[in-house]
Homo-oligomer: A and B are copies of this chain.
């Protein structure tokens, strides 16, 4: 608290203060990336992630790689390039206006459990790059991962005073925030906490919360095996515990006729606990997920497409976690839209290996778009089609922040090289790219130089 309060609003550095720090941070980023290229460091972080978070090895490694590439992106002079300003001539000799990116000073970043390295690493570095001093909190079950990362940064030259890190319950953090009144809070996590923070702090927040993410398979059927593989990844990798996981699949009837459902079911059936391609669900119990399925099945025409049962075989996943088969419930499009009750039910986000699927035809497209419009959170989406006019129609009428289109479209697996974040909300945060960092971790400050000469005295009249 003391530490947060001692940071000036003008930050640890800004374009007119301590520019050496831009270079120091570029150097730390390079050194940290260099470390993470070492096979044993990579393995160390991937194992830590697996120990705290139910992921396959491939998923854990990918998280480390994305973090490393992000660090490479801000090597050398790239931190100061990130903070570049622009200037425009003024009205008379000696006048110029300059648009700068300015830090907030004392800030807070709160990270969830599901990407214990990538999310806090990228957001914390972004906060630092722009001149802030962040207090970081990550979900307490996984906080060892970021602690290790922070220790590595110290070894790579980051001054120890630059980042404060707090372990412990969210409630502790809440109290710190209430008293320290940081200038800005970046929160990644559940919708409920997000809205609470937004209210308490009168909106001094950037949020990346729930996403009810959909995928539309367009009229042009091709590359069926690939599309099925990608659907399966999007719905079930990390046991569906990504805010970008595919929660609803709209299949054009052409895909249905081509037997897509069967192919998807076959893919899902290959997932198994032994290699963590399916695993424990941390925030929903088995019972809760299956009773949600039952509620869905009460909708006329609804049916289990595949899954819908607890994980088979003996396993040691504790009761307070969930353990179900990769599951899809088919619900007819017309029924979804019929009542608000139904719509709320089908668009409820289950943070597990669970999705709703449906079918549409050419005439139904407006209803598909209506469904997308009525949803509440707009994080990722996918439009699987190479039909350029179809894409134009869907993209022009939707707002998801990170939207993939084309035959290879996916909803998950966002890398460090493009923007990831929700759209349609003024509080929406982005992560990782230059644009995201500039938006979330800095604000505009205009400095107008007006050095004269001054006009002749006789011209000065009162107004």
Contacts and interface: CB of A to CB of B under 8 A. Distances in A.
A155 interface: no
Nearest to A428: B443
Given A81-B88, A388-B386, A389-B451, A96 B427 contact: no
A444 interface: yes
A388 B206 CA distance: 36
Nearest to A19: B89
A425 interface: yes
Contact of A8 (B10, B18, B397): B397
A77 B73 contact: yes
A233 interface: yes
A436 B405 CA distance: 30
A15 interface: yes
A423 B102 contact: yes
Contacts of A444: 401, 419, 421, 423, 428, 430, 435-436, 439
Nearest to A397: B10
Contacts of A403: 445-448
B97 A452 contact: no
B89 A445 contact: no
Contact of A452 (B406, B426, B461, B463): B406
A17 interface: yes
A128 interface: no
A250 interface: no
A228 to B, nearest CB: 9
A113 interface: no
A198 interface: yes
Nearest to A440: B426
Interface in A109-153: none
A325 to B, nearest CB: 14
A395 B16 CA distance: 7
A388 to B, nearest CB: 5
A188 interface: no
Interface string A43-59: 00000000000001011
A235 to B, nearest CB: 12
A386 B225 contact: no
30 contacts: A9-B373, A17-B396, A17-B397, A18-B396, A19-B89, A19-B93, A33-B75, A56-B463, A69-B76, A72-B77, A73-B77, A75-B76, A84-B87, A86-B86, A88-B417, A90-B418, A94-B388, A99-B418, A99-B419, A99-B435, A199-B203, A203-B204, A223-B454, A232-B462, A271-B462, A404-B447, A406-B452, A409-B448, A420-B446, A428-B443
Interface string A375-419: 000100000001011001001111111111111111000011111
Interface residues of A, number: 133
Nearest to A275: B462
A22 interface: yes
A161 interface: no
A199 B200 CA distance: 7
Contacts of A423: 102, 443-445
A83 interface: yes
Contact of A427 (B204, B378, B395): B204
Contacts of A72: 26, 30, 75-78
